[in-house]
Chains A and B, each alone.
Chain A
Amino acid sequence: MVDQTSPELVTLERLAADFAGRGRDALLPALWAVQTAYGYIGPEAVRVLSQTLDIPEADIYGVIGFYSMFYDRPAGRTIIRVCTSPSCGLAGADRALHTLCDRLGTVPGGTTPDGQYTVEQTTCLGLCEHAPAALVSRQGAGEQQYAPIDIDAILAGQPGHHNGVIGSMTRVLLRDLPTDRAQTLAEYGEYVALQRALSDLMPEEVIAKIEASGLVGRGGAAFPTGLKWSFTRRAPGTPHYVVCNADESEPGTFKDRVLLEIRPHLLLEGLAICAYAIGAEQAYIFIRGEYPLATERLQQAIAEAEAAGYLGENILGSGFSLHVEVRRGAGAYICGEETALFEAIEGKRGYPRIKPPFPTTHGLFGKPTVINNVETLCKVPGIINRGGRWFRQWGTDLSTGIKLVAVSGHVQRPGVYEIPLGVTLRHVLEALCGGVVGELQAVLMGGAAGTFLRPEEIDVRLTFEDLRAIGSTLGSGAIMVFNDTVDLRDVLRRIGEFFQHESCGKCYPCQLGTQRQKEILDRLATPLPGDRQRLADIGQTMTESSLCGLGQTAAAAVLSAMRQWPELFPA
C-alpha cells in the first residue's frame, strides 16, 4: 500500500491528469501510459485511474487481464516475447527461445532473479517474412521489433530493425518505394484524390465511384466497400465515425503492417475520403500493440498531413473537418473482429458483440460507423483519381482489381506482393517469390483461420470465387508455404495454440473448444482412441455455433487438414 504522499502516487496522479475529463474510451491510452512508465499496472494505478476516469476498479482490472501486453504485477524491466507461430517455428523460433532462456538463466514465462528480463513465448508478431521474430518492451521506453531475432542486439539494448520485402506486378500500392522508411509527404505528393473529392464530388458521387470499382473489403470478409459506405451514410443518428482496422494479428498476415510502415499517407488520404463520403468528422486507426514502428510512422504522417492542411479543421478550405486518432491495441487477436475492436476503443474488454445490429448503424459508441481494413482504404485514392473502370482492368467480374498477398514460409523471397486478382498461386510462388525452397508439401491459404491446399492445387487462380470453388479462401491474402521437411502436425499444433491463446472466452463453443482442440492437436502423434471424431465434433460446434468470426473459423485449418490428409488423424 502506498501512502498518500509517496512519490510514486504523485507521479501516477500527474500521469493520470493527462486523461482527466475524458471518458471511458481514454482507458486503453491511460493504461498504456502506466504500463510503459512502470512496466506494470498495480493497485495504486488502478485506484487513481478509477477516480480520474470514473470507471469501477474491478472493470479496470478486468481490462488489464484481457490484454496480454498489460501486466497487473511487476514483470522484468525488459520483456522479450519470442514468436512461435508456424512461420517463425519453421525458421527456428523454438531454438532461439531456448537459447535466449539459457543465456538469461530463465524459462519461457519466467523472470530473471534480478528482475531485469522476462521471457515469453507469443503467437504471431506479424513479422512472418523475417522469421523468427521477437518483440521487446523496455520499461520507460516502449516496444521494439527484432526480425529476424538478434539476441545479442536485444541484450545489448541496441535498436530493433526490420525492412519491408515487397514486390509488385501492378505497381499501384507498392511501387518504387524505399522499404526501410516511410514515404514522406513530399515524396507522396499532394492529396490529389482528396482535393478532387472535396471540390468536384458530392459524397454520393464518391460512393458511386467506389461501388463502380467493385472493391470489396481486403480484411478477409470481402464485403462490398461502396455498399458499406452507403449504408452508413444513410444511417440515422450522429455523429458518424470512420474506423480503420489496423489490428491484423493472424499468423501469416502482415501486409497491412508493410502498408502502414512505408505508405502511411496513402492510408490517410483514403481514410479522409471515406470520412467525407459518409459524413464523419472523427476517425480512429486501431493498430495492434505489436506494431510500434508502424504506429510511430503513422503518427508522424498524421502530423505532416495536419500541418499541410489535409487533416484537421476546414480541410483545403472545403468546410470539411476530420480528426484522426491512433489507438494502440494491447495484445488481443480478437480485437481485429470489428465489434470487439469498438469495445477496445471504448475502453472495455475486447469482447465481440452480437450482430445484428451491424456497425453501419450501431458501431463505435453505438453510432453509424464504417470500419475498413488498411489495404481497403489504401485502394480508395486510386479509384477516386482514375475511376472504377481503371480498377476493373485487373481481376475478374467478381474479384476486381488488385490485392496484396503476404507470403511466408518455404519460399525463396518471403514478402508482400501486389498482384492482379486472377493470377495463379503457382505464379506467386514461382515467379514472384522465386520458387519453393525444397519440395512443396502444403500451402495454408488465408492464415491460421484458412485452409490447406495440396501441391496439385496451386494452379488455382487467386480470386474469391475460384478459391471458394475448391473449398478454400483468399481471406486477407496470407499464404504460408510448407515444404516436405515439415511435420504438418507441428503446424497444426501451433495453430491450435494460437486460437487457444486468443479466444476471448465469451461464448462456450470457442472458450471450451479452442482449449480441447489444442489438447488433441498437442497429442496428434500419440492420439487417444476417438480423437478424430472429437476434433470433428469440436470443429463443427465451433464453426456453426460460436458467437463471432474467430470461433467460427478456429477449426477451419484443422478441418481442412482432416480432409486433405486423413492419415494424420488416426480414428
Chain B
Amino acid sequence: MAEPASTVTLTIDGQSVTVPANTTILEAARSIGVDIPTICAHDATTPRGLCRLCVVDINRGRLLQPACIVPCQDGMVVETANERVRTSRRTILEMLHSAVDLSQAPAIQRYMAEYGADPQRFPEGRRREHPVLDDNAFYIRDYNKCVMCWRCMQVCAEDAQYIFALSIDARGFSSHITTAFDIPMPESTCVFCGQCVGVCPTNALKPKIEWGLEQGLSPDQIRETSRGMRRRQKPIRVE
C-alpha cells in the first residue's frame, strides 16, 4: 500500500489551502480565517457531529457534511456558507431557540444574528421544560438551558473522568441528560470534579455561588441552602 500523501490541497470558499492529511475541514477553514459555527465541538471532547451547525457543502453533494468530522481530501471543493448551508444553519438555530432557553449562551445568540435566524420562527413549539435542580453544594443544573451537546456527559465518561454519573434518558426531542433514575447528584457516582460545568456552553450547569449571587442571595444564604447536601458517605470497609 502506498504511503498516504502527507499533505492535501483543497479549495475552501474559493481559496486554495494545503494542510496535513487528516486535518478536519473545520481546522483547515480556521487556519485560513474562515469561521464555521459550532455548538457541540470542544477541544477536550471527541467530536460526535451532533449539532450540525458546522455543516458545509462538499463538491455539491446530495448531503451537507459536518466540518468537525470530515477530513480534508485532495481536490475537495468546499463551500462553507452558500444558500443551502445557510438555510440549514438558520433553521437549526431557529428550532433550537424555540425549544431551549439560550439567554445565557452568547455564542449561539451571535450565530442567530449572523444567520438572520428569527427567534419567533416557531411560535407555538413545545419547549424543553425541566425544574432547576439544586441538589448539591457545588453546582446547579438548569436543563431548560441544555442544548444536548453531550459535552458534560463526555467529560464525565471516557473523554476525561471515567465517573459515568450521567446518561441520557428518553429519545428524540424528549431526550435529556440525567443521572440513573434521576437520583440527586450526591447519591450518584459524581465526584464534583467540575469538568462538566467547565465545558457547558449555555450555563445550564453553573457554579452554585454564581447562581446564588444572581438570585440576589448573600454568600451566607447560599451556604445555608446547601446545608445537608453533602455527598453521601459510604462506610469504610477493611478487607
Contact = CB atoms under 8 A, between A and B. Distances in A.
Interface of A: 43, 46, 56-62, 65-66, 68, 72, 332, 349, 354, 500-516, 519, 528, 534, 537-538, 540-541, 544-547, 552
B8 interface: no
Contacts of B51: 507-508
Contacts of A505: 148, 168, 170-175
A533 to B, nearest CB: 10
Interface string B134-174: 00000000000000100000000000000011111111111
A332 B167 CA distance: 18
Contact of A512 (B64, B69, B173, B189): B173
B171 A538 contact: no
B231 interface: no
Nearest to A510: B172
Given A61-B180, A66-B171, A507 B52 contact: yes
A492 B64 CA distance: 26
A56 B63 CA distance: 36
Contacts of B96: 508, 512
Given A43-B181, A58-B167, A503-B172, A509 B52 contact: yes
Nearest to B118: A530
B92 A541 contact: yes
A229 B28 CA distance: 36
Interface stretch (B15-23, B120-128, B214-222): B120-128
B88 A541 contact: yes
Contacts of B178: 61
Nearest to A499: B172
Interface of B: 39, 48-53, 55, 62-64, 66, 69, 84, 87-88, 90-92, 95-96, 98-99, 121-126, 148, 164-175, 178-181, 188-189
Nearest to B49: A354
Contact of B171 (A43, A65, A540): A65
Nearest to A50: B180
Nearest to B55: A545
A509 B167 contact: no
Contacts of A57: 164, 180, 189
Q: Which 5 A-B pairs have the closest CB atoms?
A: A62-B167, A56-B164, A505-B175, A503-B172, A515-B173
A569 to B, nearest CB: 17
Interface of B is mostly: loop
Contacts, number: 148
B168 A516 contact: no
Contacts of A519: 122, 124-126
A46 B180 contact: yes
26 contacts: A46-B180, A57-B189, A58-B165, A61-B181, A65-B169, A65-B171, A66-B170, A68-B171, A72-B181, A354-B49, A501-B172, A504-B175, A505-B148, A505-B171, A505-B173, A508-B50, A508-B96, A510-B172, A512-B92, A512-B99, A534-B121, A540-B84, A544-B63, A545-B92, A546-B52, A547-B49
B194 to A, nearest CB: 18
A46 B181 contact: yes
Contacts of A546: 52
Contacts of B126: 515, 519
A544 B124 contact: no
Contacts of B179: 58, 61
A184 B121 CA distance: 59
Contacts of B48: 354, 506
Contacts of B88: 509, 540-541, 544-545
Contact of B173 (A43, A354, A500, A538): A500
Contacts of B189: 56-58
Contacts of A512: 92, 95-96, 99, 173
A503 B171 contact: yes
Given A512-B95, A547-B52, A58 B188 contact: yes
Contacts of A515: 99, 125-126, 172-173
Given A58-B179, A58-B189, A519-B125, A504 B95 contact: no
A482 to B, nearest CB: 27
B155 to A, nearest CB: 14
Contacts of B123: 528
Nearest to B169: A65
A232 to B, nearest CB: 18
Nearest to A42: B181
B19 to A, nearest CB: 19
A507 B181 contact: no
A506 B91 CA distance: 17
B47 to A, nearest CB: 9
Contacts of B148: 505, 508, 511
Nearest to B183: A43
Most chain-A Cβ atoms within 10 A of its Cβ — which of B52, B90, B166?
B52
Contacts of A62: 167-169
Contacts of A65: 167-171
